[in-house]
Structure 1
Amino acid sequence: MNTQASRQSVPATRAIADTLVDLIEREAREGDLLPGHFVGTKKELLERFGVAPATLGEAIRVLRNRGVITVKPGPGGGIFLAAQSPITRLGHSLIQLEATDASVEDCLGITDSLDQEVVRDAVRYRTAQDAADLAAMLVELERVWGDTDLAQPLNWRLHKRIAEITPNRILSIVYTNVVDYILTHLDGVPNAPGFSSTSEDRLDVHRRLVQGIVDQDLDTALDAVRDHRTVLSRK
């Protein structure tokens, strides 16, 4: 057996499977196809796409895990579109976002609108471990604040950690996924005239935000949220 060739075929198979997954999802979305729509049998899909059985099998596995399709065995069986919950569709839509689909300003519009509820819950529900984590992250943020390349990713991870505290799962999921999108696709710095991501004003806002959550002082935390938005808008 050629071990090197075997290792090289695995990523190639996965890459083709990912392409196949994207194609089937796009056809379902753009064709406004309803749950129960017959996608085809495995044999038909193999012939249609001209892929290896292992590649089709991997694509089917991914699509099933995402809740996009169901597979029915036996006569009259095959692969059908599944009924997806709104939460599932939301998750898949976030996954499919590309770097050109949104700007950091778009993302800030979302996080700004959710910050008050995220922080309100953080003040109410934070545990001792949450408080310790946030305090440690703030110390590290203060240490690297003058270096935008280091400070901005850590800044966003701080906000993500705050959002992980809320017991409101949909709030946490939306917020943390928007932050992950920023960390993955964007540089995290808004394109606003005169904006300084390393100003002392902004660092002080983050100090007060963390202190309010650690002390469970809602007024201090919400004042910091308002100033966080105000600092951004006036720069």
Structure 2
Amino acid sequence: MSTARDAERPAAPSRAEMAAQRVAALAQSAEPGSRLGTKEALRTLCEVSVGTFNESLRLLQARGLVTVRPGPGGGIFTAEPSPMVRLGNSVLALDAQQTGVADAVRIRDALDPLLIEDALWHASPADIAALRRRLEAMERAVADADPVAFVHANWGLHARIADISPNALLRSLYKNLLDLIESHTLGVLPGGEQPLAEYVVQRHRLHADLVDALDRRDRDEALRLIEAHNTTGAVRADL
């Protein structure tokens, strides 16, 4: 007969979860990109069936802990930081949560026009002054040739635009997406033919023009600029 205490007791992990935990422990103690072994060797180590181990692998890959490489010399490897999200002419070097970050960027881009519409209606002179202070931080990063500082200042500008919206749900969702992107970013790397410094200058100009358009309540220009902002590069992350 079950008791209330039994109901509170957490369910025992499945065999797939236990195997995943064992491989995760190996991965976390190894260097990024290290080969942990073949699928068969690790399955034998975990003492589970082929089907159960395949489920374990799906769990581990979904958590960004391992990658599987086929062919000679292949097997199961620890996940390594990978540059995935393009910043137009550069890339964000991300940690193992790269897929989730790319998804966050796409959702964030989709929300930008909504926030610009809100800013056009609701931005006060104090809001515009605060946006111009964020632009000054971006300008300092340009002068220092510091793309990492520029990216963070840029995110600060977009977060401040989000603060103008009276829609609490939209504000919260957008800023949480920015936090997710920022928390999984390791650095900024060159990624194209155009010099990164030159590209950063162009992006600063675009954001300055955007703030000017918000100040003038120029809806057509503001929406044109945010569309240009979000279509530079196939997969980007807000530069």
User: For the superposition of Structure 1 and Structure 2, which TM-score range results when normalised by the shorter chain?
Assistant: 0.5 to 0.7
Question: How much is the aligned-residue C-alpha RMSD, in angstroms?
Answer: 3.5
**Aligned-pair distance for 1:122?**
1.0
Greater fraction of residues in strand: 2
**Aligned-pair distance for 1:180?**
0.7
What percentage of residue pairs aligned between the two structures are identical? 30
What is the CA–CA distance in structure 1 between the aligned matches of 2:187 and 2:119, rounded to whole Å?
23
**Aligned-pair distance for 1:230?**
2.8
1:182 paired residue number = 181
What is the CA–CA distance in structure 2 between the aligned matches of 1:39 and 1:180, rounded to whole Å?
43
5+ residue gaps in structure 1?
Answer: 1-37, 49-96
1:114 paired residue number = 111
The structure showing larger relative contact order (alpha-carbon pairs under 8 Å, at least 6 residues apart) is 2
SS in 2 for 1:132: helix
Question: Against the structure 1 CA distance between its residues 39 and 138, is the aligned structure 2 distance closer, same or farther, given a 3 Å change threshold?
Answer: farther
2:158 paired residue number = 159
What is the CA–CA distance in structure 2 between the aligned matches of 1:184 and 1:109, rounded to whole Å?
16
Are 1:105 and 1:190, in contact at CA under 8 Å, matched by a contact in 2? Answer: no
What is the CA–CA distance in structure 2 between the aligned matches of 1:128 and 1:167, rounded to whole Å?
16
Letter in structure 2 aligned against 1:139: E
Aligned mate of 1:144, from 138, 141, 151: 141
Are 2:159 and 2:178, in contact at CA under 8 Å, matched by a contact in 1? Answer: yes
Note the alpha carbon deviations across 1:60-104, whole angstroms, 9 max, x for none. xxxxxxxxxxxxxxxxxxxxxxxxxxxxxxxxxxxxx98634444
Question: Against the structure 1 CA distance between its residues 140 and 120, is the aligned structure 2 distance closer, same or farther, given a 3 Å change threshold?
Answer: same
Question: Against the structure 1 CA distance between its residues 197 and 180, is the aligned structure 2 distance closer, same or farther, given a 3 Å change threshold?
Answer: farther
Note the alpha carbon deviations across 1:98-136, whole angstroms, 9 max, x for none. 863444432221111111111111111112221111011
1:229 paired residue number = 230
Q: Within 5 A, what are the aligned runs for 1:210-229? A: 210-229=211-230
Are 1:189 and 1:197, in contact at CA under 8 Å, matched by a contact in 2? Answer: no
Are 1:202 and 1:231, in contact at CA under 8 Å, matched by a contact in 2? Answer: no
Are 2:213 and 2:222, in contact at CA under 8 Å, matched by a contact in 1? Answer: yes
Q: Within 5 A, what are the aligned runs for 1:40-55? A: none
**Aligned-pair distance for 1:201?**
2.3
Greater fraction of residues in helix: 1
Letter in structure 1 aligned against 2:172: I
Note the alpha carbon deviations across 1:170-215, whole angstroms, 9 max, x for none. 2111111000111212247599655766413212211111111222
Are 1:152 and 1:188, in contact at CA under 8 Å, matched by a contact in 2? Answer: no
Letter in structure 1 aligned against 2:160: R
Question: If the length of structure 2 is used for normalisation, what is the TM-score?
Answer: 0.52
**Aligned-pair distance for 1:40?**
5.0
1:123 aligns with 2:124: no
2:96 paired residue number = 100
SS in 1 for 2:166: coil
5+ residue gaps in structure 2?
Answer: 13-62, 65-94
Are 2:105 and 2:181, in contact at CA under 8 Å, matched by a contact in 1? Answer: no
Figure out how many residues of one structure are paired with residues of the other and give that number: 149
What is the CA–CA distance in structure 1 between the aligned matches of 2:225 and 2:102, rounded to whole Å?
20
